[in-house]
Amino acid sequence: MNKKYSPLFNPFTFRSGVEVKNRLLMAPMTTFSADEQDYVSDAELAYYEKRADGVGVVITACAYVSKGGKGFEGQMAIDCDETIPRLTLLANTIQQKGAKAVVQIYHGGRIAVPALIPNGETVSASSVAPLLDRGFYSIDQAPKALTHTEVLDIIKDFGDATRRAIEAGFDGVELHGASGYLLQQFYSPHSNIRDDEWGGNETKRLAFSLAIIDEVKRVVKEYAEKPFLVGYRFSPEEPETPGITMKETNTLMDTLIEKELDYLHLALTDAWSKPRRGIVSDKSRTEILADYIAGRVPLIGVGSIQTAEDALQVMTKANVPFVSIGRALIMDPKWVEKIAQGEEQSIVREIQQDKQQELTIPDPLWQLICTVDGWFPLEKVTS
């Protein structure tokens, strides 16, 4: 190994007691490849097995906790006990390769896909339609505002999902509070215009996320017999106005830190992107947040990290203790091992269109990679 990259491979023990072998994680990425019952498929098992050798932690694609929260075709579920056997296979597959296994749990809220959920009725904090396209689907209908009882039901769903993750043998859960999904919708002044205990001011808009964290931690205390991680992913800003700015994000950080989580995980497409509004700075959002958090909780950086040098820069320049790798691990499953072996110059940085089987990429994900313009760099196959 090139000695300058050794900081990427330092071990770490989280607050919960979970030990990881290095500072590199596989980022949660939707595979669109669960089976017809939304259980983990054999293709997904092979996909994760291919990529779990080098990283310290694999964070899986998000699994929905409630039937009304499904946001993708082929999204895996964690909403009923029948999902546990296949989730167990997934956890075991990852762990047998030496990585810790963390399942990301989520509810899509107003950007769940109507065609994929009961009665086609999306739900959210308030009946406010999304303004912008998100991801692979365009959702323009106004959601139904959740009643107080329904809010409590979804909080319980997150707790039940955590119990299933524990029973399946995972090492932790990551709460998906980013990308415009339900947890973020409750905190956002754009999507939450309630005037009850779940909204009305910034403190009350945070109540939903905090109640979920409390329920998840209660379940961990009751059911986990070994150290079990609880992390939280967040988007530092929203494009909508009004919406979450860096100012609100600082409040979110302070509040989450008080909950003694194992880590916070940024959701950015570019680790060096600058803030939109709420703060004036020449620094990137990653640097700003790392400075603000000041080591009070481990922060995971992410966003267009393609090379060993990219990862090292995020750790050293931005002073972030962990880096999660997304598309780079799809393009080259041996990304981490190549760095560890001093072969970082051989990392593949584009999708080779005749390599699906070698890369072990499930068909639904492969089809999207090859057809969605600009998502992945594609190497054309010449005849």
pLDDT band at 278 (very low <50, low <70, confident <90, very high): confident
Percent of the chain whose predicted confidence (pLDDT) is above 90: 92
pLDDT of residue 84: 98
pLDDT higher than 70, residue 180 = yes
pLDDT higher than 80, residue 265 = yes
pLDDT of residue 382: 62
| CA distance linking residue 316 with residue 234, whole number of Å | 22
pLDDT higher than 60, residue 383 = no
* Residue in this structure with the two tokens 């595979």, named with its chain if needed: 31
Residues recorded for the chain: 383
| CA distance linking residue 145 with residue 362, whole number of Å | 36
Taking the complete model, does pTM exceed 0.95, yes or no?
yes
Distances in Å between the Cα of 174 and the Cα atoms of 46, 137, 162, 366, 380 are 22, 23, 10, 25, 36
pLDDT of residue 35: 98
> Which residues make beta-bridge pairs with 324?
25
Which amino acid is it at 350? E
Residue 274 tokens, joined: 């600058």
| CA distance linking residue 90 with residue 49, whole number of Å | 9
pLDDT higher than 90, residue 154 = yes
pLDDT band at 375 (very low <50, low <70, confident <90, very high): very high
* Residue in this structure with the two tokens 């990425």, named with its chain if needed: 29
pLDDT of residue 279: 86
pLDDT, averaged across the chain: 96
Nearest to 105 by CA among 147, 140, 57, 71: 71
pLDDT higher than 90, residue 132 = no
* Residue in this structure with the two tokens 């209660």, named with its chain if needed: 218
Domain coordinates in residue numbering, the chain: 3-379
pLDDT higher than 90, residue 134 = no
pLDDT of residue 43: 98
| CA distance linking residue 192 with residue 208, whole number of Å | 11
Top CATH class of 3-379 equals alpha beta
What would the mean pLDDT of 133-153 be, rounded to a whole number?
Answer: 90
Q: Which residues contact 62 (CB under 8 A, 6 or more apart)?
A: 28, 30, 71, 75, 104, 105, 106, 176
pLDDT tens per residue, range 229-243: 999 999 999 988 899
pLDDT higher than 70, residue 155 = yes
pLDDT higher than 90, residue 310 = yes
- Among the listed ranges 129-133, 288-292, 367-371, which one has the minimum average pLDDT value? 129-133
Q: What SS3 class is residue 312?
A: helix
pLDDT band at 352 (very low <50, low <70, confident <90, very high): confident
pLDDT higher than 90, residue 136 = no
| CA distance linking residue 27 with residue 61, whole number of Å | 8
Quote the Cα angle for 150-146-136, to 5°: 110
CA gyration radius, the chain: 20
Identify whether the C-beta of residue 247 lies closer than 8 Å to the C-beta of residue 279. yes
- Among the listed ranges 14-18, 133-137, 163-167, 326-330, which one has the minimum average pLDDT value? 133-137
How many other CB atoms are there within 10 angstroms of residue 294's CB atom? Answer: 9
pLDDT tens per residue, range 13-61: 999 999 999 999 999 999 999 999 999 999 999 999 999 999 999 999 9
At residue 55, φ and ψ (nearest 5 deg) are -70, 155
pLDDT of residue 135: 67
Distances in Å between the Cα of 187 and the Cα atoms of 109, 115, 280, 351 are 13, 26, 22, 37
How many other CB atoms are there within 10 angstroms of residue 63's CB atom? Answer: 28
